[in-house]
Amino acid sequence: MQILSVSSLKGGVGKTSVTMGLASAALHRGVKTLVIDLDPHADATTGLNVSRGVGREAGQLLKESRKAKVSDHVVRSGWVDLMDAEQQKDAVLDVVVGSALSATFDRPDIRPRDMKRLKSLLDGVSEYDLVLVDCPPSLSGLTRIAWAASHQVLLVAEPSLFSVAGTERTMRAIRLFANEFAPQLTQAGVVVNRARADSPEHEYRLLEMERLYSDKLLLPVLEENPHWQQIQGAAYPVHQWPGDQVRDMAKSFDEILKQLLPAKSRTS
């Protein structure tokens, strides 16, 4: 089971969008997936078409991390119901729902033993191939809780000056965190989101990112897509939305997912 945190220290760059795009790719590839919505804004919960108030949500589970059993509280994503009956049989996309309650753990001075709460919640869990953790945009308690439980951190960045600088800082933070608290933690790479082909500034920043991150840059770059907000608003998986432009976006997520999965699951 691969546990992957989707992070950036900056808000609005597309963490939740990338989490959802990857969840959609995983669902359509038959990869059994759990999404943990650690962001108190709970956007992933909304986008994955899950009703809140069903099962314990992330903040409550973190509070009860010693005795709670994750599998008793996961909720199935409504995306599964959109598939045809044959596909639904093997499809697994579950969600640990988010809510404002998890914000109680988002302190900068979180204690090391609180940092291990998600790790202990996931300790006995083995029914998924992939766990995606949608993180809030800071390096406070919740992101540390996510990183302590993860094998890899996937960074999301926009091709803009501040985002490039923020990504550098986050990479440094991951290295320091791994040294001190999480020896298993590695960097999965950087996904560039919301690139515009007609923007010279974006082109310049993309070249800069290629130079800075080289092998850590995960391709293809995700383009700014005019349909994206509508897809999210409808709480739909990108793989089920019609139209060529959206199909290309779905394919980009397929490509990125392939690079993130362990080698043995990449072949199909």
Ligand X SMILES: Nc1ncnc2c1ncn2[C@@H]1O[C@H](COP(=O)(O)OP(=O)(O)O)[C@@H](O)[C@H]1O
245 near ligand X, judged by CB under 6 A: no
Q: Which 23-42 residues touch Mg ion, going by CB under 5 A?
A: 39
Quick note: the x/- pattern for ligand X over 116-145, rule CB under 6 A, is ---------------------x--------
Residues in CB range of 41: below 8 A, 6 or more apart: 98, 136
Task: Identify whether the C-beta of residue 193 lies closer than 8 Å to the C-beta of residue 17.
Answer: yes
Structure tokens at 13: 């760059």
What's the one-letter identity of residue 64?
A: E
10 near Mg ion, judged by CB under 5 A: no
The helix/strand/coil state of 9 is coil
CB of 135 to ligand X, least distance (A): 9
Considering only the stretches 12-20, 179-187, 212-220, 260-268, report the one whose residues sit in contact with Mg ion under the rule CB under 5 A: 12-20
163 near ligand X, judged by CB under 6 A: no
Structure tokens at 70: 């994750």
The helix/strand/coil state of 122 is helix
- List, edge to edge, every strand of the sheet that includes 2-7: 75-76, 93-96, 33-37, 130-134, 2-7, 152-157, 186-192, 217-218
| Element at 217 (helix H, strand E) | strand 217-218
How many residues sit close enough to ligand X to count as binding (CB under 6 A)? 17
Report the first-to-last Cα separation within the chain, whole angstroms.
Answer: 18
Q: Nearer Cβ to ligand X, position 30 or 220?
A: 220
* Contacting residue, 160, 187, 232, 240, with ligand X by CB under 6 A: 232
194 near Mg ion, judged by CB under 5 A: no
17 near ligand X, judged by CB under 6 A: yes
d(CA 197, CA 223): 8
193 near ligand X, judged by CB under 6 A: yes
What's the one-letter identity of residue 67?
A: K
225 near ligand X, judged by CB under 6 A: yes
* Contacting residue, 12, 112, 243, 262, with ligand X by CB under 6 A: 12
243 near ligand X, judged by CB under 6 A: no
CB of 44 to ligand X, least distance (A): 8
The helix/strand/coil state of 150 is coil
Q: Which residues pair with 131 in a beta bridge?
A: 3, 34
CB of 63 to Mg ion, least distance (A): 22
Q: Which residues are at the interface with ligand X (CB under 6 A)?
A: 11-17, 43, 137, 193-194, 222, 224-225, 228-229, 232
